[in-house]
Amino acid sequence: MKTFHALSGLFVFITLKILINFNKEFLNRNFFRIDDFINTLMVFVVLIYVYTNKEKFIEYQPKKNNKIFFIVIIISIIFHTYRTLINLPYSFLHSDNVISNLHVNRMINFDLNVYQATWNEHTTLLIYIQKYAIQIFKIFGFENDLLIYFIVFILFTSLSCLLIVKLSNFFTDYKAIGFVIGTLYFIDSVGAGNRTLRFDTRSFGSFLMLLFTYFLYKYTTNRNINDLHMTVVFGTFAMFNLESYSLTILILFLTFIYVEKPGLRILGKLFFTFLSTFSSIFLFHFLTDQLNDLINLNILFHLQSSRVESVNLLYAISGVEFFPGLNLYLFIFLLWPIFLLRFKNYLKNKNIIYLNSYILGELLHLILTGPRWIAYGQIMRIPLMIILCIYLDKFAVKIGLNKSFDNFKYKISTSLLIPVVLTAFIGGPSIFNSKIERQKEILIGESSRIEIIKLIEENTDNNAYFLWTENKNWSWMFLNSNYLPATRMWLWVQAYEENKSYFSWSDRWGLEQIQKYWLEDIETENVDVFVIDKNFINLPNFINQYISENSALVRCISDFCLYKK
């Protein structure tokens, strides 16, 4: 493809993008479909141009003027950074992140353990990391809890990127590919312009699985038993972080036995390491009086919770896309079996055998756990990034890119920045523009919000109050106002009252337990203010009765009524 033809094609596509942006309202939701299709064509034009001009494109010419190259890089980085910062309040201020933040702050302010601060939690591991991080950052003057939460997320994402770069060495000798994959993972996790960012048990679980996988691969090359012990330690913590990871780790362990054929002595040492790690977790929860709650409110609860929604694996895998319409992850996933059939020699590679076991485990993991929510699909990101690394390695060898690129002066910086350039103008803030408009329609006016918070300030000196409203109001009523939700049941009484289909409310977790915990916490936390959204679902009878008998109406603003003891 000639340069003129490539530039002409890109000019036409960019012109089309501008035209449809001017007609966004007329096109309605078709705007996103058309925009995604144009983005796909633009990426194909770029890839075809690189392939057909590989010698000229890669050849190092030290005297050649590289101004255009640097201008494109700089503009892309500026635009990408700007878009990320603009979208951040809407992409990171997600219900799950707000819940975790409020959970940690309840632990700190009331000196509670994990299960005293909130009724049900997947793991104590991530919550304690967040708690200590917030406390450390506050020593240095950081006051914005959500910002601290985001910084911790960035830290673990950065470590994950470094691990992906290290892990890529087991699948390619071409270091530039590792940098491309690591950078793409970081952008996908942090700079996504079209979806919410979640720092939860699954994103943290991906970090632990990266550590587990890295040390496993490292052992297969150097036979250092210490790496195998590290594999067991991180595997145990990964299972503790999210019990459904047990399936993936079990499959990988069985694959290890099949491939490596370790002796009984090694297996005995590994079992002792597992017992030691497991015992330390057990002992910590026993000493902090959380062991019973860990078993009852995490393991048994999640094992017995029901799933009525059908499992759609393809939807889950493609649903966490950075690219809104390209379906890159889905393409990578569906191409993998075809790739292995085409290049059967890969099937004999030990590293690929482990990778296939990893993929199988995560697929079964998704089937076992839902996916109730599309965010569950993010557990597939790590194996899919490894597959993409293999694709790029094969592509580089196929066209001889690996030989010619070694002479390129800017190979490291280019490897880091190529994902930035490719993703900078894809997706965009259009989806969040519609989300902002939707929030303006849903939320009550800003003046009313200020008035409600002022009314709460006038009627309580406590850090917490009882709030009955939907989650869209949690950020401004709790987080932005430095208040906390009262009682460990603040979220779950709502789930019970709404009769959520994905919970099996047995006697172990039913109304009797909810009433018991709620009444205990109302008294011990000295709650004296109740704010009820009259436009929300009806209050549970026992809460309604308690408020009627123990408080009086102060005032209503919009649909929010404040009651005081």
Model confidence over 376-388: pLDDT tens digits?
778 888 999 999 9
Q: E strand or H helix at 286, and its extent?
A: helix 264-287
Give 485's pLDDT tier (boundaries 50, 70, 90).
very high
Which pTM value belongs to this model? 0.83
**pLDDT over 60 (residue 34):** yes
Identify the residue with better confidence: 412 or 461.
Answer: 461
In this predicted structure, what is the pLDDT of residue 59? 53
**pLDDT over 70 (residue 20):** yes
Residue 534 placed within a domain: yes
The whole-number average pLDDT for the span 17-38 is 70
Residue 545 placed within a domain: yes
Give 73's pLDDT tier (boundaries 50, 70, 90).
low
Identify the residue with better confidence: 89 or 415.
Answer: 89
Q: What is the pLDDT of residues 147-205, one digit of tens each?
A: 888 889 889 999 999 999 999 999 998 888 888 888 888 877 876 655 677 888 888 99
| 385 in Cβ contact with 186 (< 8 Å) | no
Percent pLDDT > 90 in the chain is: 41
Among 21-30, 88-97, 285-294, the minimum mean pLDDT is found in: 21-30
Q: First vs last Cα of the chain: how many Å apart? A: 76
Residue 375 placed within a domain: no
What mean pLDDT is reported for the chain? Answer: 81
| Distance from C-alpha of 1 to C-alpha of 53, rounded to nearest angstrom | 7
Residue 448 placed within a domain: yes
**pLDDT over 50 (residue 101):** yes
- 484: containing domain: 444-564
Give 325's pLDDT tier (boundaries 50, 70, 90).
very low
**Please, how many CA atoms are within 13 Å of residue 531, restricted to the half-sphere of its CB?**
28
Q: What is the pLDDT of residues 339-386, one digit of tens each?
A: 999 999 999 999 999 999 999 999 888 887 766 666 777 888 899 999
Q: What is the pLDDT of residues 395-429, one digit of tens each?
A: 777 666 655 555 555 555 555 566 665 555 555 44
**pLDDT over 80 (residue 60):** no
Residue 26 placed within a domain: no
Mind giving me the DSSP string for 142-179? ---HHHHHHHHHHHHHHHHHHHHHHHHTTT-S-HHHHH
In this predicted structure, what is the pLDDT of residue 492? 85
Q: What is the pLDDT of residues 23-32, one digit of tens each?
A: 766 776 676 6
| Distance from C-alpha of 290 to C-alpha of 161, rounded to nearest angstrom | 33
Give 309's pLDDT tier (boundaries 50, 70, 90).
low
Query: Could you give the residue ranges of the DSSP H alpha helices within 264-344?
Result: 264-287, 291-294, 301-304, 313-318, 328-342
Q: What is the pLDDT of residues 223-273, one digit of tens each?
A: 999 999 999 999 999 999 988 899 999 999 999 999 999 999 999 999 999
In this predicted structure, what is the pLDDT of residue 409? 55
Among 266-270, 319-323, 545-549, the minimum mean pLDDT is found in: 319-323
Describe the crossing of helices 30-52 and 430-442 by its angle, rounded to 10 degrees.
160
Give 324's pLDDT tier (boundaries 50, 70, 90).
very low
Residue 383 placed within a domain: no
In this predicted structure, what is the pLDDT of residue 429? 46
Q: Quote the distance between the C-alpha of residue 434 and its chain's center.
A: 22
| Distance from C-alpha of 167 to C-alpha of 161, rounded to nearest angstrom | 10
If one counts the domains in the chain, the total is 1
**pLDDT over 80 (residue 519):** yes
User: 3-state class of 93 per DSSP?
Assistant: coil
| Distance from C-alpha of 164 to C-alpha of 75, rounded to nearest angstrom | 27
In this predicted structure, what is the pLDDT of residue 558? 87
Describe the crossing of helices 30-52 and 3-22 by its angle, rounded to 10 degrees.
170
In this predicted structure, what is the pLDDT of residue 318? 63
